[in-house]
Amino acid sequence: MNIYGLMKLTLLDYPGHTACTVFLSGCNYRCPFCHNIELARGEVPPEMDDTAFLTFLGKRKGLLDGVCFTGGEPLLTPELPELMERVRAMGFAVKLDTDGGFPSRLENVLTRGLVDYVAMDVKNSPERYAQTVGLPKTDLAPVRESIRLIKELAPDYEFRTTVVAQLHDESSFAGIGEMIRGARRYVIQKFTDRDTVPFAGLSAPDDDKLRSYAAFMAPYAGEVLLRGI
């Protein structure tokens, strides 16, 4: 199995843990604000294979608590469950980042007990979902099913939205709120522009606007957090 990037230490990607982050290639979406668009398009060469990664991980016992798998969309990689199993057998916790597009694959890793924490991106309200993921149209049934599975099966989790001024407004959060109602945790992430973002001219709302969105979402989740401000 190929690995397309490795952040050897992160204190941010896995809440409450010291971790490394593994980047996998390919994605079902083409979000205009994506920070990893070359990974999403499959244009990045492999950095290492799973054997080299597990060797690295073996040297980090006692230093790292967990491993984050991100992308792209990690669940597109068919060998991922087996790698998760090996990582957990070494004593590390596993976090999965996902866009919720593959509920059957998500259910597989959850029912097998391979994931300790799931972070699922809920991109926008249903009316603006296709625009936000960069597609002409999109089927939200897999997204809704993934939300249900995470709420029922994940040991711990968050739903999150990266907020872009040109894509999100008050109505966005009304729609998102209905999609995730009753969630344990919801995170509003401030968009940060980078050279790797595929579309120019995107920006984040100001911090006061983000705080107002967080206040609006309070009835929909047990905990609402802001990141990036």
Q: What is the pLDDT of residues 74-130, one digit of tens each?
A: 999 999 999 999 999 999 999 999 999 999 999 999 999 999 999 999 999 999 999
Max CA pair span of the chain: 48
Q: Which pLDDT band holds residue 205 (cuts at 50, 70, 90)?
A: very high
Summarize the confidence of residues 22-30 as an average pLDDT: 97
- Tell me the CA end-to-end span of the chain in Å, nearest whole number: 37
Per the structure, how many domains does the chain have? 1
Query: Residue 126 belongs to what domain range?
Result: 2-227
pLDDT for 198: 86
Query: Could you report the per-residue pLDDT of 160-172, keeping only the tens digit for each?
Result: 999 999 999 999 9
- Tell me, what CATH number does 94's domain have? 3.20.20.70
Residue 132 has pLDDT above 90, yes or no: yes
Model's pTM, two decimal places?
A: 0.96
> 195-218 as b/e, with b when 16 or more CB fall inside 10 Å?
eebbeeebebbeeeebeebbebbe
